[in-house]
Amino acid sequence: MPKISQKGQLMPESPIRKLVPYAEMAYKAGKTVYHLNIGQPDIKTPEVALDAVRVHSLDILAYTRSEGSENYRKKIAEYYKNNNIIVDHDDIIVTTGGSEALMFAFGSIMDSGDEIIIPEPFYANYNGFSTASNINVVPVISKFEDNFALPPIEEFEKLITPKTKAILICNPGNPTGYLYSKEEIQQLAKLVKKHDLFLIADEVYREFVYDNKEFYSIMQEESIADNAIIIDSVSKRYSMCGARIGYLVSKNKAFIKTALKFAQARLSPPTLAQIASEAALQTPKSYFDDVIEEYVERRNTLISELEKIEGVKVAKPNGAFYCIAELPIKDADNFAQWLLEEFDVNGETVMVAPAAGFYSTKGVGKNQVRIAYVLNKESLIKAVHILREGLKVYND
């Protein structure tokens, strides 16, 4: 029998999606499942984006340019300008989701065996992208007790070797919801400048910032124009996860020229999704005001309900729509599976994402879960009630 590649065997399963078969079995058993495991917002996609696809006048669904249509990229540049990020349309490559943007970035700046430093916990697929690119993640642990703030810069500096090519952050963070301050971004900027590294920032949750905090982009640090790479996406901003449109942004011309070769190899981003995403840029500010207000209420509801459960600790997020909770259990993977397979309250159960998969360091985060507060407040209250009742009877 032909053998599977070593790379294929090493590719990690998604901690978010690997429990899906158990959720499907729960559905088949007639149970209701509250999904706190995945960042799929229930917020409606802006009507202007959907209308643009409904009324398009295309006769042929043709390729677009590999870097995305010029008109769309010019409008993206305007969007950035309105967010105090000054870039030209030629600094932007439209990608098939933020995932492809990250893969293009890895392929453009790192060779096999090179290293990238990432504060953990981090978006689980960074592990998968790194494995696919034959590069090594070097984790620096941000602590639950510090609300997952940026680890001391000295901790990063200790990890830098001749193989180190970049530092990657997610801001605001998935899975933590932590929002990096301007001062923290400036510390990282000085570090990458000193060691001639790239600084990659996954900024897909830019709009989701709470408590009168301010978002600060790495691209606002002019001193690192040649070091800074932004990963972006329409998925969460406009509740358009299925569009699969992202952006790769950098003022480093050599980097963009290189990344474009990867884009050319996959031909072009999807045409209809670009039409929808371009139209989404017309979304009025009131849409985001309402969305932010809703997420703040959901976050506050979730945190309040979780804090009522004995033995549960939760880190309060200032951005995105996730939080990390520590549970009074030994293994969150087993607990999450048990909730779906064996437990329910009046025919209802809950699905969470075990947090160990968001770490690269083995054995860390075993008693933690990531919770996405993408459900309405009533559903969140029910879901946490189920979680509370489950913890009462669960036996490690």
Per-residue model confidence (pLDDT) at position 396:
83
- Cα–Cα distance, 279 to 183 (Å, whole number): 35
Contact 394, 335 (CB under 8 A): yes
pLDDT computed for residue 18 by the predictor:
83
Contact between 141 and 364 under an 8 Å Cβ cutoff? The reply is yes
Q: ω into residue 172 within 30 of 0, thus cis?
A: yes
How far apart (Å, rounded) are the C-alpha atoms in residues 185 and 187?
5
| pLDDT (0 to 100) of residue 13 | 83
Model's pTM, two decimal places? 0.96
Residue type for 311, please?
G
8 Å CB contact between 237 and 277: no
Q: How far apart are CA 307 and CA 324, in angstroms?
A: 12
Give the three-class secondary structure for 92: strand
Q: Give the span between the Cα atoms of 271 and 103, in whole angstroms.
A: 20
Longest Cα separation, the chain = 61
What the block records as the tokens of 9 is 């065997």
Neighbouring residues of 39: CB distance < 8 A, sequence distance ≥ 6: 174, 236, 241, 321, 322, 372, 374
The count of other CB atoms within 10 Å of the CB of residue 283 is 17
**CB contact set of 366 (below 8 Å; sequence gap of 6+):** 330, 331, 332, 333, 356
Specify burial of residue 68 (Cβ count, 10 A radius: 0-12, 13-18, 19+).
Answer: buried
Q: What is the number of alpha carbons within 13 Å of residue 346 lying toward its C-beta?
A: 4
Element (H, E) at 117: strand 115-120
Residues whose CB is less than 8 angstroms from the CB of residue 159 and which lie 6 or more positions away in sequence, other chains included: 117, 138, 140
CA distance 303 to 375: 14
pLDDT at 17: 79
Hey, which residues does 136 pair with through a beta bridge? Answer: 115
Q: What is the pLDDT of residue 394?
A: 96
Six token digits for residue 161: 């070797």
Task: Report the pLDDT value the prediction gives residue 379, as an integer from 0 to 100.
Answer: 96
Task: Return the pLDDT at 279.
Answer: 98
Q: Do the beta carbons of residue 150 and residue 119 sit within 8 Å? A: yes
Q: For 89, which DSSP code?
A: G
Give residue 393's pLDDT. 97
Cα–Cα nearest to 314, from 329, 324, 301:
324
User: In this predicted structure, what is the pLDDT of residue 238?
Assistant: 97
Would you state the structure tokens that stand for residue 160, as one six-digit string? 């830098």
Pairwise CA distance, residues 39 & 352, whole Å: 11
pLDDT along the chain (396 residues), means of 10: 94 84 95 94 94 95 97 98 98 98 98 98 95 97 96 98 98 98 98 98 97 97 98 97 97 98 98 98 95 97 97 96 97 97 97 94 95 96 98 94
What is the C-alpha separation between 375 and 65, in angstroms, rounded? 37
Does residue 130 contact residue 106 with C-beta atoms inside 8 Å?
Answer: yes
pLDDT at residue number 43: 92
